[in-house]
Structure 1
Amino acid sequence: MKAPGSTSIQSGAYFVEFHGEPASPECDYEHEQFYQEVKAAGINMRTRNAFKRLFNGVAIDLPNTRNLEQLESMATVRRTWPMQVRTRSVAIPSANVSPNLMYAHQHTGVSKVHSELGLTGQGIKVGVIDTGVDYMHPDLGACWKTPGCPFQYGYDFVGDGYDSGTMPHPVPDPDPRDTCDGHGTHVTGIIAAHGSRFSGVAPNVTLGIYRIFGCPGNGTGQSADDVILKAMEAAHADKMDVINMSFGGGSGWSEDPLSVAASRLVRDGIVMVASAGNDGANGLYTSGSPGLGVGVINVASFENWMITSLKIDIFGKNGNHSIVHSSPGNSKIRFVFDTPTQVVAPIDSSGSINGCAPYTDRYDHQILLVKRGNCTFVDKAAHAQDAGAVGIVVYNNEPDLMSPTSVSPNVTIPLVVIKSDDGQSILSELNFGPVTLTATNGTVSTSNPAGGQISKFSSWGPDPELHQSPAVGAPGGHIFSTFPLDLGGYTSLSGTSMASPYVAGMAALILQARSKNASVDEVRRLLLESAHPKPNANSTIPMSPLRQGSGLADIWDSVSLMATIDPPQLSLNYTEDRESFGNPADSGLDGTKQSLQRGTASDEAIRRLTLFNHSPSSFMTCTMTNLAASSVSSFMTNGSFAATPRTWPEAGSAVAIAADTQPRAFIESPVLPIRVAPGASQVVEVRIKAPSGLSAKDRWLFGGYLRFNLLWDDQSGTAQTLHVPYTGFVGDYTKLDVLSVPEEGLPFVGLKGSPDALEDNVHVAIDSEHKLAVHYRLEHPTRVVKLRLVDDANATVGYLPYGYIEYLGRNYQSERGRFSNSTINGTLYQDADLTRPFETQPGAYRVRIDALRPLRDPNDPEGYQIWHSPRFIIDSVSPPKASPSNVEEAESSDDVVRNGELM
């Protein structure tokens, strides 16, 4: 059974995948045969959804998970996957439209192609799989499926009340209008808004809206993957030209069912665009599914050059001034105070200004100022509300303005965040006397000092198999766009959710410019190769492609390109093993088999690229230079893991940069300069040398950009520059450890609820009140983890609950996802699918963890990193009377890294 450990799982729900290819004659036969086998076996099963277009199989509810092994043994079944759920982000409202998006258009070529080329996306169909849309918004047409209306396709697959955690059976209907969330309305506006004061990237596209999330407040706000897959199939059936998916996240895999379905959409000629994820603070390997599908354009976020924010007017003894604040933490509770309201900064019962403990005094009709940190925004708001406050202002513990994302139906007062300096200024003003504020939904636009830089939240690559991610970047930080009319009409949101539709709109413009005579691969090459790599902040050295992909997208350059290169990205894989470095079987992220040659030395490789001259009448001359980017590592010089990757060269460092600590690249053949005839192509071989001056023990990922300088012999002497990013690993990637080292405190076995590890030969009794917990941390994604009890001869006694997991993402360092666990509760399993339980007998045991190293064969015992716990003795066992799928066995899903948030 495939059991991803990097996401929450719908208990008792599974995908069952059949052997045949989707949309093939085998599908109907295999579906019919499967149901006959299920009926003959007497298995109690409910079909949630059946799939034949993009995925050949069914989604089912299986009340008795012991039947899972029977299903997997059936002739038609290829494998099963547990049902994942995707969690929506909280929508953040604001007020009053602003030309904020126009500043982004000026830096990405959008304004220029609108005004000079007249490109608007006319005739291109774009699908948006999201929370629905408020199609009655005047800037989105205020219409639904009427002649001339942009909205001609769509469906609501869930209904307002749907939530996969509390209401597993959706109530679909044909109307995907969203009046309660806003995420999809915001995304749609970035693509297609056509108001009087600002325009989306492709304002005249035809839209298909596919709603997969219900309203916030109906439980956990999740959607199951079978619902999402139904929406993807509907968009495919409606023949969308481009599909945007602003959801994903976590440490994902290209083998995930949604990634596979997205890959098949690409194969069928649909440009697929997805958000890379908002987990940048957690470091490398945080790009998520479905953006890791083969050929999917997953998008990083750059900061907008202008911030449009809501305004607070502050009144104090020393004068009045205005500050900016974030959007509220609850989309339905807006921060509006028409008359001056007193601001106080009280100390909570713990003696702190953080507001993480209840208050002993009352603050009726006042607004509390508290400092960010030490607890959730919900906790702070709840304590303020209990003390009678009518609002809460949290000042950041960092210089930037950020948006709160916590919400609770029990909190009914508004919460906003302000900058740290503004919070300190209010505290200083309170020393001189009373302070009041008003907030009337006015907005103010200010220059963003970080404009054009990568957003801090934007997720890092690579994927677990070293394919590059993200693919390209676009504006996603502080984007003003449309919002449901009931929630204010407009708002500013930040996320790769905002960057993804920006690129989807660009893809529509390319298709219009080429009269739809452009393949998916060509659209992808045009977007990626025309992008501009950006340097690290306070540096002239380009950021790693694992942070920004090919760089910041520029649609003017995309539609103007007279040449392209295939492939548009190079993933070099590991560099120590000559037999593996440059393996001809490696596939590029674009899905094509790369034509490779093995490097002639252990630290280099040769890659073949094809240059296409699209000019029908002019010769093209080509030269190439190498732009070495920063190398990155998740490990410090002492070997400890760090969430924020360290980089080399370090920004602002006075240390001289030795040439051998940078990657090098040069054209191997043919002889320079290269001339390509009109309409012809030329294969070139590029030799890429890994840094030899970086220590392999530090586990560096290096990279750079091949800059192709192109010149045509036409009358105007047209010159263009294309970039092809490359990445590789210093050392042997297949030898990487996956588990954290015990010196960091994990793995360990201890009494459940205790942070202390057991010492050797400790005696324990297992019953309903006393259990053991196994805690481990993955510092690298892994395809397989096995957790077993073994005896003194190291022979397997049985698998632990949640003891065989495939396709796991790495753990983050945040409190919620810092480790994974399993419980020794008296029940073991004979099989890896955890369907044949038996009772643990008293005796001496160790816990053995096997974690598969990167790119290794799961059937090769030598491919695993192995850890043994200290020996312990179980004196007696009284296991709980519960089903094999009880909550306790699945509890590790609460502690692994989250996945699936709207981005």
Structure 2
Amino acid sequence: MRISAILSALAAATLVSAGQYHSPSSTLSSVKVSPGGYIIEYHDTIAHMDAYSALRFHQVDYNVRHEYSVFHGSAISVNSAHDGPAIAAIPGIKNVWPITLHAMPKVLASKLNMTDPQVVSDHRMTGVDIVHIKLKLTGRGVKVGVLDTGIDYKHPAFANPGSRAGCFGPTCRVAYGWDFVGDAYNGTNAPVPGPNPMDCFGHGTHVAGIIGANALNLTADPKPVQPFVGVAPEATLGAYRIFGCEGSSGDDVILAAMERAAADGMDIINMSLGGGSSYRSSPTAVLGDKLVARGVALSAAAGNDGSQGVWMVSDTGLGDLSYSVASIDNIYGFYNSFTYAGDAYPYLQSNAWGQPIFLPANATLLPLFESNGKLSDGCDAALYKAVAKSIKGKIVLVYGDVTRCRSDARGTLAKKAGAIGMLFQTTPLGLAALLGAPEFPMASIENKAGDSLLAAYKANPRATFTWSHQASNFLVEGGGAPSDFTSHGLDGELRSKPDIAAPGGNILSTYPLAKGGYALLSGTSMATPYVSGSHALYIQAKHTKRRGDEIRAVFKNTATRTTNVGSKSLSSVARQGAGLINVLNAILTTASISPDHIDLLDTNHLLKTTTIVITNSGQTTETFTLSHIPADALNSYPTHNSFPLPTPIIEADYATVSFSNPKVVIPAGQSATITLRFTEPKAGKSSQFPIYSGYIIAKPASKDGIPLHVPYTGLKGDFSQVPIMDTDSGFPAIHNFDLVNGTSTLLSKNGGYTFDMTTHVPVIMTRLGSHTPSAEIRIFESESDTFVGFMASKVSGNAVGPAGRSLNTDEKGTLVFSNWIWDGSIVTPAGGDNPTAMTQPKTLSSGTYRIVVASQKKFTHGDYPADYEVFDMGSVKF
């Protein structure tokens, strides 16, 4: 009876289609896969045992790593010669992914020192301070699962009231959790799971502290330099450790932790994880949407690739129902300061000095000027000689450009010349961390502070300094604006991501006790838990648990729109999403708008007409006035460049919007539908593909009514013509790779090259500047010009399938591209209803073959060659 049931299920599965194999994204230098490891998703009618029977029937030798219920699949290690495409072709298998390794979450060093006194004033930016004080909300009764490096649950900031230390277990703040990996796990070795999710790295403890630490009135050491409290200081935490003490983690482990967190009853799952620019088909994004549909909220980091340009939002948060969270810099800081000419200025002392600066009260300023009258960077020794008679006993002001030399070199020159201190005017803004020169007072000051000092000096060169003896609160230059590191959207389908922003720049939180107890870090990793904590406050306030995407919509409706530093126009939706989360507004609003965002797509698919629905959940009739506020447009292709600019050019390319009814009266408990008509911007060149955006505003007439908004995004131009291959940098390219010496030689694309495929093989190098539904390397038999298959590389996988864009450079500043080392193997379409299903690789017989790099254009059907960027690499013989 059992065998009959299995055969019936598999027969039904064959009627569906062959499964889809998702090639690993080779567009990021950091992407690695676990050899022989695969995540498989079954068709809905297939049970675990049915799938395992099918694998054995097809002679697949495997071990099960993890089983998933909500995801409906397994992670396996394959010991036989079967690869991903072969597994995907087995009846009953719906999707197959290679197990991808995710690097340990990386955060950015703060612009401040970890030991500097700080005040967690980010709550003033979001209304959380009022929610705590007036509404008395703390997240009590809400469960937040932290998938990360673990939590140092012994930290006193996680202790129960009256206790001096935290604990782990049912009666503790960190009440749930599991260690999925063990200390020694690095992604390439076998995990050793256990019950103790203690953090030995630090990231997870910092994240957990943002969600729910309480560092007020601590009686046990260590105490923070400035008391602070997390967003939801009484929320129950779950610690799901998916990283060891260093290295990476496989997404098979991450999926298991997601399901465990959901099974433990977590209301919110926090995933402050990095990821690549890809599509929403990653396993974590797929499972995320399934969990949200079951009532769990998912908060994921948008990524820290702001310096890489557009199309770089991380993949975990790309699900339709999850949060993708951008970062906003903290608006306040608690700094040491000095007074000059009657005005106070914050400063950040150098690492070499490492303490507050106290200089004589009669010390005066000496700006160091170039011959053209501009402030010097202080790298030229001759300039110090020129002011030798006046520099002694002075505090030198220099421009903080680091192009020519470091701060220690400048400090040494100034000290040798007789100066008693040095101030750096930071460029472009903020307070920069300086190495400094030993035993010489040096500090960075904000850019605007440098301009003010120069103006005051010119008015009175004899003005003196007064140095503070205690720290004070200051508005931070650049605070309240999108962090420069936060990743730009949109995604590869012109979907509006990120969704929302939260404080993530310069955030003080808990750190493992063995590492000092507290740390000041920056990153979307810090913004993401802020949203998770906010979600907990909302659930507590409403005494009910709505679906995660429904609460996300409320936060998006009521967020605070932000501007870039020094700008009066709103920052692009592709950077801040709906804006900075405003928890107080979200809790107090009695109205909502759906949908929570509008994707206008491109010129050829422009959503010219759409509708929004405004619902009045209040007790009285409300009148709403509709309006439109445009946001910055982002031009990444001003010179028709093939790779997007690292920093897009901001333009005033504004769409126009008309309303079927600019004012609506909605009775209590009722809704109204308004038709919107969009016209794309007149400004901006369609050949440069500017991303334009803005907000639809619904302002209530009542005095206490909270305005609502919906963000929209669009692209002027034909999305299918956005460059994919980085031809400006010489890609694609073909090289002759010497397997013995490990060297390669660039070849022309004329072809006619012979390889023995033993010591010398061809290598195809590609570099993608934007997404493609299918990044392909096609192989043709030269004489007949017959297509024989797609290149199969043992190193890089099969050269067919969706791919996100490449990073511009890696952390070392090296250009990022992909290498496809070819040994003569190909894969071919498996047939059936699924056009992406491929056969097992096979090796071509000796002959002459033409290699063609082809990338499917976005928003196309995939007809070859009309719908592709095509590059003929010439013929090779082996």
User: Normalising to structure 1: TM-score of the pair?
Assistant: 0.75
Match of 1:112 among 127, 130, 135: 130
- CA deviation profile, 1:158-210 (whole Å, cap 9, x unmatched): 11111112x1x2111111111x2110100111111112221101101111111
1:868 aligns with 2:876: no
- CA deviation profile, 1:517-553 (whole Å, cap 9, x unmatched): 5443331122111111112322211111001101111
Matched position secondary structure for 1:806: coil
**Aligned positions of 1:373-412 closer than 5 A:** none
Matched position secondary structure for 1:291: helix
How many equivalent residue pairs? 730
Please give the alpha-carbon distance, in whole angstroms, between the structure 2 residues aligned to 1:88 and 1:798.
37
Q: Which runs of 5+ in 1 are unaligned?
A: 312-320, 329-334, 339-352, 354-369, 377-393, 405-416, 426-441, 583-604, 651-660, 878-903
Q: Which amino acid aligns with 2:687?
A: K
Q: Which residue of 2 aligns with 1:655?
A: none
Q: Which residue of 2 aligns with 1:630?
A: 632
User: Which shows bigger deviation, 724-733 or 59-68?
Assistant: 59-68
Match of 1:770 among 760, 763, 773: 760
Please give the alpha-carbon distance, in whole angstroms, between the structure 2 residues aligned to 1:403 and 1:9.
33
**Aligned positions of 1:220-619 closer than 5 A:** 221-307=247-333, 323-324=348-349, 447-576=475-604, 580-582=605-607, 605-616=608-619, 618-619=620-621
Matched position secondary structure for 1:259: helix
- CA deviation profile, 1:76-121 (whole Å, cap 9, x unmatched): 11121111111013577976684521x1111211111111111111
Please give the alpha-carbon distance, in whole angstroms, between the structure 2 residues aligned to 1:403 and 1:757.
45
Q: Which amino acid aligns with 2:846?
A: Q
Q: Which residue of 1 aligns with 2:786?
A: 795
1:726 aligns with 2:752: no
1:807 aligns with 2:793: no
1:751 aligns with 2:746: no
CA contact (8 A) 1:760 1:872 kept: yes
Displacement after TM superposition at 1:827 (Å): 2.3
Match of 2:771 among 772, 776, 781: 781
When the two chains are superposed, the root-mean-square deviation of aligned CA atoms in Å is 3.6
Q: Which residue of 2 aligns with 1:411?
A: none
9 and 309 in structure 1: CA distance in 2 versus 1, 3 angstrom threshold: farther
16 and 858 in structure 1: CA distance in 2 versus 1, 3 angstrom threshold: farther
1:662 aligns with 2:690: no
Q: Which residue of 2 aligns with 1:679?
A: 669
CA contact (8 A) 1:564 1:613 kept: yes
- CA deviation profile, 1:213-233 (whole Å, cap 9, x unmatched): 0002xxxx1000010001100
Displacement after TM superposition at 1:11 (Å): 3.5
Please give the alpha-carbon distance, in whole angstroms, between the structure 1 residues aligned to 2:745 and 2:444.
36
CA contact (8 A) 2:429 2:478 kept: no
Matched position secondary structure for 1:552: coil
1:63 aligns with 2:63: no
Please give the alpha-carbon distance, in whole angstroms, between the structure 1 residues aligned to 2:772 and 2:514.
45
Please give the alpha-carbon distance, in whole angstroms, between the structure 2 residues aligned to 1:855 and 1:187.
38
Please give the alpha-carbon distance, in whole angstroms, between the structure 2 residues aligned to 1:641 and 1:810.
9
1:17 aligns with 2:48: no
- CA deviation profile, 1:437-487 (whole Å, cap 9, x unmatched): xxxxx9997652111111111001111111101111111011011000000
Match of 1:49 among 44, 66, 84: 66
Matched position secondary structure for 2:648: strand
Q: Which residue of 2 aligns with 1:127?
A: 145
Q: Which amino acid aligns with 2:64?
A: T
633 and 254 in structure 1: CA distance in 2 versus 1, 3 angstrom threshold: same
CA contact (8 A) 2:656 2:679 kept: yes
User: Which shows bigger deviation, 258-267 or 536-545?
Assistant: 536-545
Q: Which residue of 1 aligns with 2:196?
A: 175
Displacement after TM superposition at 1:156 (Å): 0.8
Please give the alpha-carbon distance, in whole angstroms, between the structure 1 residues aligned to 2:82 and 2:443.
53
- CA deviation profile, 1:755-788 (whole Å, cap 9, x unmatched): 7441524544444443332122211111211113
Q: Which residue of 2 aligns with 1:191?
A: 211
CA contact (8 A) 1:853 1:865 kept: yes
CA contact (8 A) 1:96 1:443 kept: no
Q: How high is the sequence identity, in percent, across the aligned residues?
A: 30
240 and 517 in structure 1: CA distance in 2 versus 1, 3 angstrom threshold: closer
Please give the alpha-carbon distance, in whole angstroms, between the structure 1 residues aligned to 2:347 and 2:136.
40
User: Which shows bigger deviation, 481-490 or 510-519?
Assistant: 510-519
Q: Which residue of 1 aligns with 2:243?
A: 213
302 and 792 in structure 1: CA distance in 2 versus 1, 3 angstrom threshold: farther
User: Which shows bigger deviation, 462-471 or 37-46?
Assistant: 37-46
Displacement after TM superposition at 1:732 (Å): 2.6
Q: Which amino acid aligns with 1:3?
A: S
CA contact (8 A) 1:9 1:82 kept: no
Q: Which residue of 1 aligns with 2:342?
A: none
CA contact (8 A) 1:667 1:684 kept: yes
1:831 aligns with 2:828: yes
Displacement after TM superposition at 1:619 (Å): 0.7
420 and 763 in structure 1: CA distance in 2 versus 1, 3 angstrom threshold: farther
Displacement after TM superposition at 1:750 (Å): 2.8
Displacement after TM superposition at 1:636 (Å): 1.6
Q: Which amino acid aligns with 1:666?
A: S
CA contact (8 A) 2:626 2:663 kept: no
User: Which shows bigger deviation, 530-539 or 59-68?
Assistant: 59-68
Please give the alpha-carbon distance, in whole angstroms, between the structure 1 residues aligned to 2:297 and 2:404.
43
Displacement after TM superposition at 1:308 (Å): 6.1
Matched position secondary structure for 2:699: strand
Q: Which amino acid aligns with 2:136?
A: G
Please give the alpha-carbon distance, in whole angstroms, between the structure 2 residues aligned to 1:737 and 1:65.
37
CA contact (8 A) 2:642 2:725 kept: no
Matched position secondary structure for 2:724: coil
CA contact (8 A) 1:202 1:508 kept: yes
Please give the alpha-carbon distance, in whole angstroms, between the structure 1 residues aligned to 2:57 and 2:640.
60
Q: Which residue of 1 aligns with 2:187?
A: 164
User: Normalising to structure 2: TM-score of the pair?
Assistant: 0.77
Q: Which amino acid aligns with 2:870?
A: I
Q: Which amino acid aligns with 1:82?
A: P
1:852 aligns with 2:856: yes
Q: Which runs of 5+ in 2 are unaligned?
A: 1-20, 160-164, 217-226, 338-345, 357-378, 380-399, 407-423, 435-441, 451-469, 738-742, 830-837
1:621 aligns with 2:613: no
Matched position secondary structure for 1:571: strand
Please give the alpha-carbon distance, in whole angstroms, between the structure 1 residues aligned to 2:635 and 2:785.
35
- CA deviation profile, 1:651-679 (whole Å, cap 9, x unmatched): xxxxxxxxxx42011212xx442100001
Please give the alpha-carbon distance, in whole angstroms, between the structure 2 residues aligned to 1:522 and 1:644.
34
User: Which shows bigger deviation, 295-304 or 747-756?
Assistant: 747-756
Please give the alpha-carbon distance, in whole angstroms, between the structure 1 residues aligned to 2:870 and 2:876.
21
Q: Which amino acid aligns with 1:629?
A: A
CA contact (8 A) 2:310 2:644 kept: no
Q: Which amino acid aligns with 1:857?
A: H
CA contact (8 A) 1:545 1:704 kept: yes
Q: Which amino acid aligns with 1:211?
A: R
682 and 825 in structure 1: CA distance in 2 versus 1, 3 angstrom threshold: closer
